[in-house]
Structures are given as structure tokens and as C-alpha cells.
Structure 1
């Protein structure tokens, strides 16, 4: 089940700042928008449909899950409040065992408060383990669409299978969210979103190589009103709403939910330091308001408890990580470099407490599969064919000792099947994790699956052979494709199957998805086994006049900017 115990929060200048920066908000008030059975004052009926942002569920446990909505009859209002009147609103909710709600098993009311932008989080409990439910909300005469959610299996049981999909990086301007709809049509039971759910840039600040097809509303997000408006703009997308409604989500952020390449209390640009912590407060608060998270994730000032553990019976444990909030600042200028500082044993990408929490989780795990849901590339990717080791300082390559402590931790704990799931880099990758990346013939101790972006980077380009110019100096890297898409997995007691799903274009709506490559990871075998290669009619990179040097330049440029 979901871990309910947040880490301790020692008094620091952060918590001192929090007391002043969030006065009147979530950091100093009782949790708003959570299940509350108390009666509310009568309110005038809403004249417009308030359910423009859809519904969502998340963080399943054996007896329940979170269900979410946010009232916003005018979702793009510049004040970020969605066109709602400045008064609390009573929202009714229902959970049923059938799509037509003939057999409702749980119902209640919840207060939607102005100070939380009328967001609603209900932690439904008392349900049966390992089964499907449907939920919806009602305000006056308005009824939301329904959503589907599942409870986790009963602890100690070994389910036959789990259909899990994972996604990342959906830049609204770079394309249409068709990949979300295709994912929904594939009908997963669980979805992991690994970060960059929304982007902070103002219109045309970040233009994809294939051009922007729609525009962000408002300036770059730095205020609470701005972040609320931006989340609302994304949530109005019908394709995204379909993906949220199909299954519960486990969400973690990366950088663009706040600011490109931020690291703990350090923004991307030094000139942004004044006011950055207040910006962080606003971003975290809006993120909570707009995601199906439990009350353990309510922000306190500039801090938010986002890393957590969700167990799917004895089949899988999902360790959801936060590699932004506690990391040391990126070394050597935050780009690609041959950087001695990257190997400093004192450097951390997780922070000491989260690292210890993860190592403890490995030791305590009895799951068949231990899955790390996290943000940035875990395996080494050497950009240089010569003797230098040129890697991204924003990834685990910039925190080598931190990575080694994690991998040694799962070896010491004899983790049966460690699998790392990653987003961030706007391309599909598959990799074996080596005990020593300098020894390519040495043992593989885990696997890494990386999903491409939903839209970020525009259309991209197809490479049916799955090769990349970095492969010769990185033989542990097995597959790459630069189309947009997502990854479907089927997890069973004996193997994990992964399908890398691609869309030929995202700059026009409605394109179909196809599977470019499939891999299997067998129980007890920490290597990748290609099970299918799916040809398409797409032209190869070389037939389009794209050279290996072009691929390297585009990879570095996209990962630095996006």
C-alpha cells in the first residue's frame, strides 16, 4: 500500500520562509479540498459546467485510492481561479462497481475551497482489494464525466499480471496530446507520469524543430495564478482527460513544473535567485492542487513530500523518486562535460534522507519486481568516442557516486528484479545497467526503460534500426528512437514485457500509434531480450539526410533546453 509516513522536516530557513510565504495558504491552513462530511453554507447554483478539467484518480492502495477534480467553469481565467465565485462549494462524489452507477458502494460530500482554487481530493477507503471501480462528482445539476480506478491487490498476494504504462514530457505548444488518447485506448491499469507534465515558458519561448502548433496562455509561470492557469490549460485538453480517466496515476515532477533544470533552491539562471523560493512555493502548491495526490503530499512552504512507495501485492513495488527537490546543483555548468566533480562522493541527486528511504525499501522488499519511477537518465551515456567521458550533468551521470550507492544498495539487498523507469530526454531508450560502466563485459545488474515525450521536441524522426551514434562507446545502450510516444508494460511473475509505442507525427491531431520495438525482461535475468522489431513505412534518418553528427547535436540541444 502507499506509504503514509512523511519524512521529518527539521526547522531550517526553508520552514521559516514557509511561515511567511504561504500565510493563508496550504502551508499554514488545514488541508483544503479533502474529504469533509460537514455541511456547507447554501451557495447559489453555478450557471456553467464547472467540470471542464475532467477527473483523475491516483495512488491506489488495497482499500482505496484518491479521486480528484477541480471546479473551473472558465478554466483559463487570468487570476487562476477558473471563473469560480469566491465561496466554498459543496461537491458530492460517488464510487460504484459499474460504469452506469447502478451499484454505488461509497458516496460523500467534500468542500471545494476558494483558497485551493476549488480543487477536490477525496481519499476513498473501505473498498475491496484488487478490483475495478468507477467514480464521478456532482455540483448542483452538473455531473462530471466518470473515471475508472483500481485498488491495489491484497498484501501478500501475487497477481497474475499488471498492465502499466509510463509517460513524460508534454509540452502543450509542441504538438497535440494524441499519445495520451492512444494510451487510454490501450486500457492500462496503472499509469506513471515521470515529470514535465506542464511547461513554464511563455508563448514562443521554446519552439520545437517542427514548429509550435498551439500557444501557451499567459506569461512565463512564476506566480500562483500563473501556475494554476497553466495547469488548467493543459487539463482542458480532451486527450489528456481521457488518459486521466482510464486508470489511476502515480505522478512525480521533473523540472518544468517549476523551472528548467532547477536543483533544490537553485534556479536555472542566477538572475532568477531573488524570488525563486516564492516561485517554488507557488509551483508546488499549484502542482498539488491539480494532481491526484494524498494529503501526505500537501506542500509546507517550499517543501513537498512527493517520493513515496506503492505496492502492487507481491508482484511489484513502485518506488517513486524525486530527483529535483533535494539534489546538489548540477556540476560544470549544467551541460554535457567531462567533469571530475561529477564523481565527488559527497554529491547527491536524491538527498541523504530519500537515499536512505530507498535503500531501506530495497532491504524490506519482498516483491518480484522493484520498479523505480524517476525522472532523468540513470545509465551512463558517454557522448565522446575518444578517451574522455562526456556526459549530461543534469542526469545521474552528474552524480556518479549517488548512482553507485543506489545500485550497490539493491545488490546488497538482493533485489530480485530492479527496473528503472525514466522520462526527460524526449526519446525512447532501452539500456542495461552495468555494475561498472567502464567494464562493458562485466555483469548487468538491472535494466532501464526510457519513454519518449508525449509532444516535447515536436515530431522527431524515426529510426527503425534503433541505433544511435553513442552506441559504440556505450554498448549497454540497446535501443533508441526519436519519435514521440509512451511505453506500455505487462508485468507478470515471470517476466516484464515492454512495448515502445510511437506516433509518426504530433503536429497534426489524430495520428495512430504503432509499436517500434518490444523487449522482455525475464525474472531473475537482469538483461534485455528483444522480442519484436516492428517495421513501418517511415523513412530512416539517413534517407532524410540526417547524419550521426546531426543526431548528437539534436540530442544535446533538446536535453539542455527541454
Structure 2
């Protein structure tokens, strides 16, 4: 993807038109609009409000009728609905948002192109103040090209801060479901956001995404393993496979495109994308298990090309800005997003710049190689970028989104230690440098958000984990998996062992789920949400633990 113009659409500039409600707050209209929209999402009605068209009109025709006539003279028709993969938005700013869709007639077509014709397709888009699109504020067209798997990334700017918007697309007579998004505020308006990671298709249903959607987050932070690269039954869960992968091991561009399309065919995932803007950062399974920079974990040849294919497909299928367009086997994942004066999100990349895992990877005891002071998981440049950004931040909270467990976690009971070489335990010198830098920089209220572990954790990050009185640098909140490892469990005896060995960890839970965070200037409240099963649909979610992080203290209450 060296010529970015082939893979990006031309963004349209928003046309704003004053206040959305009489008092200018947007609250009344926004709350009613949100309730109605989420009711429709839960019912699976594709983002249309019941009763918004004459009786007997189809959902598709109701929406299509309100689009202006196409500017094209020769109006083509695709043979079916091209919006099988849904819509999404992401990377919000105070005045803009990324809108995404990818056209596909058959998500599991073997060539990875979704059964689309090879020709370009003109895609119209609209952004409105209401879910009925009575007040369209911005619109435009983009070209979906076969070279980019018919994906569309529209960067809309010129919007009002802290506002809720609705968006949709049309292509050759077919109209997408509507999505709901929002811009970042200017002040310190409270924020509700969800943290999720690790969704293995075969291991279970994505009910956690559905339950997350029902809680109306303003933002979703996804910290990696959005999809898995394995062949069918290449990684089995104790509860067995619930559904099968399409295709084989992901190695080619077509393989990765097909796997992403299969994931987007899941209705619960599509609903979560329609409900709120996302911040996304990849981990290992978007490419290959436990890869490290240029090193393949399997030693298979052609890893450079495989990585380039994976990054290209990842960009094509995510609501990312053009700053993340890959260049060959490189992609920009680490970036910073401000949520007004309340929070700054610092997203990290713990894969592209790390040294290879010590002692042949895995859980290891007595691995002296990991102690080498030169070993890094972030790379010097990215660490400086993070610490400089933290030092300059004027936000009330600094949320560091990253992929692998940062807290030390001894897996062995009793004398000696057994540690996971793929996490920060495999890079303790780099962890110490980072935690010292965080404390020295004086950034307000640092909180680390983490994925990967397939278990919930709540921990305090200390400069010296062997000294319970050592200064605390930050708090870490780790989200369990959406479905990876199948039906969860809660082994109370094993949890008690791990908590004894790791007194800086306050909570562990092996069930599937996500974290719901409510942030105000005074505190961060984290609810660890869990599901008892994912091997069948419809599991309820409940709050298994709540923690409060008070402003001014790196502590869990």
C-alpha cells in the first residue's frame, strides 16, 4: 500500500447548521434519540425508527427515499445488498470523525473480495443530527475500489464538539443501516467507555459486544485480537468449537480479508460498531500468534509479506484515519486522542518495536535473558513519544491503552517464579523505565488499559513489585476476552493462590466479558462485566466487581 491514494477516499467537509435543540445543550434531543436508536439496534431493525414511514414500506425503501437522487446518469445496480459488513466510526476529535464501511455481497467469498465486481463503486454518505436524517449536516461521495476491498474511509470535519450524530451510506440503490457516533467534547463532560479485547470466532458467540452496546457507551476502546488467524480448529477451547472459520490459516491478503469479513458478518459485532465510535489497536492475532517485530513465532518464511498483507486488511476493515494507512509491513498504531479536558487516550503498539521474546517464549522460570537491560517492548522512540505526551498532557486523566499485561504476575505458588515471556514480565527493564518515567513526568491520574490476558485483572503498578511499599506509578485495568477460550469459569482456589503470590493484584476473574468505565473529573469507576457462557447466544452479563480510582491517587478502592 505505498500509493495511499489508491486506498483512501476523499473526505467531505461537514456543513454545520446551528444548534440542534432550543437551549443549545443537545441533551433532550440526544437522550430521546439515543433511546430510540438503541431500541432499534436491540431489535435488529438496522437503525430505522419504527413508524418513520408509511405502513407497508420496507426498511430499505424508507431510508432510500430520503436520500437525494443520484448524480449519476447511468444508474447501476448491484445484484444484492452490499452492506453485509455493516458500518462503523472511529477516532473522534472535537470537530470530526472517521466513517467506515466496506461493500460485500458475500462476506465469505473465497477470494476475500466479498463477491463484489472488480469495478469501482460510488458510495454516498450522510451525517445527520437525528436518526431519521431529517437534519442532514454533511454529505458527500467516495469511491470504493476493488484494490482496497471496496472499503471506504471518510474523514468528516467541521462538526460541533461533544455532539451525537447519525450516519449512513448508499451504493447503487442500496442503503446501509444507520450508525450512531459522537465527537469529543471541549470541557470535562463525564465519559462512559467500554474496554474489550480478544474475540475468537470458533470459541464462542460475541454476546459481550451485544451487552456492551446495551449499556450505551460514548466510546469503545478495543485493545487487540479483534480477529484470529488460525486455521479451522487450529486453537481449541475446553468448551469446544461453536462455529467454524472460513478459509485456512491467514497468510495471504485474500485470507485476511476473508477472515475480517467473516467477523463483520456477526450481528452482535456489527451492532457494537453502529452504537458508538471505536478506538482500535491491534495485537498479535491480527497477524500471527506472539509475533515480535520482524520475527515470526513459527519461523515460517515470508513473514515480511504476511505482515504487510495483514496490516493492509486491518486498515481496510477498521475505522482508522489516513495517518494509519500501512506502508508495506509497517502500520501506525500508536496515537493520541483527547477527550476534551477530561481525558487523553495514549494508544501503544507493543508488537512492532519489541525484541523477540526471551527464552523461546511461553511461561518460563529462571529466565535470565529477560533481565537484559537493553531489552525493549516499546522501542526507545515510542517510549519517548509516550512519556513526552504524558508530560505535556493537561488532561485530568491519562489513559494508556496497550495490549499485554503490564503488572508482574507470578504463575507459580511458593518459591521461585514462573512468568509469561510475551507480556511485560519478559521485558522488566523496559517496564521499570516506563513506570519511573510516568512518575517523574507528573502526568495527572495515569491508568493503564490492557487486553490479551483472557482474564479480568485489577492491579496497582509499582516501580518495584517485590516491595509492597514501593511507590505506585499507575493503576492497571485488564479486560477479559469477548469469547477467546470459550465458556469461562471462576476457579476460586487458583485465584486465591495468584492473589497471594501477587499482592499488587486485587482482582482476577476467568470468565468472558468486558469493562465498563465511567469517568468524571473526580474518579474513574470500573465495572468488570462477566458472562457465564458464550457457547450459546443470549447470556446475560452482570457486574462481578467494581473498583473506583480516585483522582490524585494510584489506588483501587
Task: Report the TM-score range of the alignment, normalised by the length of the smaller protein.
Answer: 0.7 to 0.9
Residue aligning to 2:217: 188
Q: 2:2 aligns with which of 3, 13, 27?
A: 27
Aligned-residue Cα RMSD (Å) equals 1.6
Residue aligning to 1:244: 273
- CA contact under 8 A between 2:193 and 2:220: conserved in structure 1? yes
Deviation at 1:29, TM superposition (A): 4.7
Deviation at 1:440, TM superposition (A): 1.5
CA distance in 1, matches of 2:242, 2:413: 37
SS in 2 for 1:489: strand
SS in 1 for 2:261: helix
Q: 1:323 aligns with which of 332, 350, 360?
A: 350
1:55 aligns with 2:82: no
CA distance in 1, matches of 2:290, 2:126: 40
Deviation at 1:466, TM superposition (A): 9.6
- CA contact under 8 A between 1:146 and 1:245: conserved in structure 2? yes
Residue aligning to 1:355: 383
Q: CA separation of 1:36/1:434 partners in 2, compared to 1, >3 Å: closer, same or farther?
A: closer
Q: 2:103 aligns with which of 59, 68, 71?
A: 71
1:283-325: CA deviations, max 9, x gaps?
A: 0000000000000000001111111000101111100011011
SS in 2 for 1:470: helix
How many residue pairs match? The answer is 499
Deviation at 1:163, TM superposition (A): 0.2
Deviation at 1:445, TM superposition (A): 2.2
Q: CA separation of 1:465/1:445 partners in 2, compared to 1, >3 Å: closer, same or farther?
A: farther
Residue aligning to 2:17: none
Residue aligning to 1:279: 306
SS in 1 for 2:500: coil
CA distance in 2, matches of 1:464, 1:144: 46
Residue aligning to 1:543: none
CA distance in 1, matches of 2:72, 2:498: 61
Mean Cα deviation higher: 45-54 or 402-411: 402-411
Deviation at 1:241, TM superposition (A): 0.4
- CA contact under 8 A between 2:8 and 2:322: conserved in structure 1? no
Deviation at 1:31, TM superposition (A): 4.4
Residue aligning to 2:323: 296
Residue aligning to 2:392: 364
Residue aligning to 1:391: 419
Residue aligning to 1:476: 504
Q: TM-score, normalised by structure 2?
A: 0.87
1:453 aligns with 2:481: yes
- CA contact under 8 A between 1:459 and 1:484: conserved in structure 2? yes
- CA contact under 8 A between 1:464 and 1:516: conserved in structure 2? no
1:305 aligns with 2:335: no
CA distance in 1, matches of 2:6, 2:345: 26
Q: TM-score, normalised by structure 1?
A: 0.87
Any unmatched runs of 5+ in structure 2?
13-70
Pairs within 5 Å for 1:161-172: 161-172=190-201
Deviation at 1:388, TM superposition (A): 2.4
The runs of 4+ residues in structure 1 deviating greater than 3 Å are 39-43, 463-468
CA distance in 2, matches of 1:486, 1:113: 35
SS in 2 for 1:318: strand
CA distance in 1, matches of 2:294, 2:535: 35
Deviation at 1:389, TM superposition (A): 2.9
SS in 2 for 1:173: coil
Deviation at 1:438, TM superposition (A): 1.2
Deviation at 1:493, TM superposition (A): 0.2
- CA contact under 8 A between 1:123 and 1:294: conserved in structure 2? yes
1:210 aligns with 2:216: no
- CA contact under 8 A between 1:31 and 1:295: conserved in structure 2? no
Q: 1:227 aligns with which of 256, 259, 272?
A: 256
1:148 aligns with 2:180: yes
1:158 aligns with 2:188: yes
Deviation at 1:412, TM superposition (A): 1.1
Residue aligning to 2:537: 509
- CA contact under 8 A between 1:40 and 1:89: conserved in structure 2? no
CA distance in 1, matches of 2:330, 2:437: 26
Residue aligning to 2:437: 409
Deviation at 1:442, TM superposition (A): 2.4
Q: 2:226 aligns with which of 170, 174, 197?
A: 197
- CA contact under 8 A between 2:208 and 2:514: conserved in structure 1? yes
Q: 2:291 aligns with which of 262, 266, 291?
A: 262
CA distance in 2, matches of 1:498, 1:31: 42
